[in-house]
Amino acid sequence: MRRYTELGFAAPTYQYEKPRIAVGNAIQTSDRTISVLLRLERPSVVVLANVLSPEECDQLIALARPRLTPSTVVDPITGSNQVAQYRNSEGMFFRLQETPFIATLDHRISQIMNSPVENGEGLQVLHYGVGAQSMPHFDFLIPSNPTNKESLARSGQRISSLVIYLNDVVAGGETFFPEVGLSVSPVRGNAVYFEYTNGSRQVDDKSLHGGATVIEGEKWAVTKWMRERPFISA
């Protein structure tokens, strides 16, 4: 994994602020009550239950399956789009509010994340088979390459992520935060939310995270990234 010094800039001293996500042991959306299972302050991480129903999870998988391609990432140094060496999975993106069903999920997720729907990137569904994993990485955009600079100018920095599990994984597949020793097991319909950008546009290196190797079975997950401003794709 590349750390700040390898990317050409010094790590700031991150100043934690009041989390964007609502306080309390439950989050009420317009169509669902979301249970809060765990909160971590530094980094800001919240584990949630009942984000999606079993039927919604199955429907997302069915819609995504025929559109899967090998996962790619933007290299933080060159800005080029490459098949991910640290994320040997398959994935696809839905356009924001692509269908009425996706729009329902986009609206519910925006209420959970306490950010406008239009600030969200399109939902990304990922599929991991046995042996697949996602090595530790950051979700915020490194501003040291032209591709990220253009995206940051259009839509601002990513500020938070929500990873929702679409199935129960038999063994492995946890989302882990190595800087703080936290590991979240993938349970269908549950999710892990985390923040990593404050009001001063500092980014939190404690938000480093990855997906543990799938040991048995398979793993399906859907991710939403929120931006500072309305998301405008290239």
Answer whether residue 234 is part of any domain: no
Burial of 23 (0-12, 13-18, 19+ CB in 10 A): exposed
What residues are paired with 28 via a beta bridge?
A: 33
Answer whether residue 66 is part of any domain: yes
Number of domains forming the structure of the chain: 1
Answer whether residue 164 is part of any domain: yes
| C-alpha to C-alpha distance for 26 and 49, rounded to whole angstroms | 9
Place 143 in a pLDDT band, splitting at 50, 70 and 90.
Answer: confident
pLDDT tens profile 144-175: 888 899 999 999 999 999 999 999 999 999 99
Give the closest residue to 184 by CA, choosing from 224, 221, 208, 212: 212
Task: Tell me what pLDDT residue 180 has.
Answer: 97
Residue 155's domain is classified under what CATH number?
Answer: 2.60.120.620
pLDDT tens profile 19-36: 999 999 999 999 999 999
Which residue would you say has higher pLDDT here, 79 or 231?
231
Answer whether residue 1 is part of any domain: no
User: Mean pLDDT, the chain, as a whole number?
Assistant: 92
Answer whether residue 90 is part of any domain: yes
Answer whether residue 223 is part of any domain: yes
- Strand 90-93 to strand 69-70: parallel, antiparallel, or no bridges (unpaired)? antiparallel
Task: Tell me what pLDDT residue 1 has.
Answer: 41
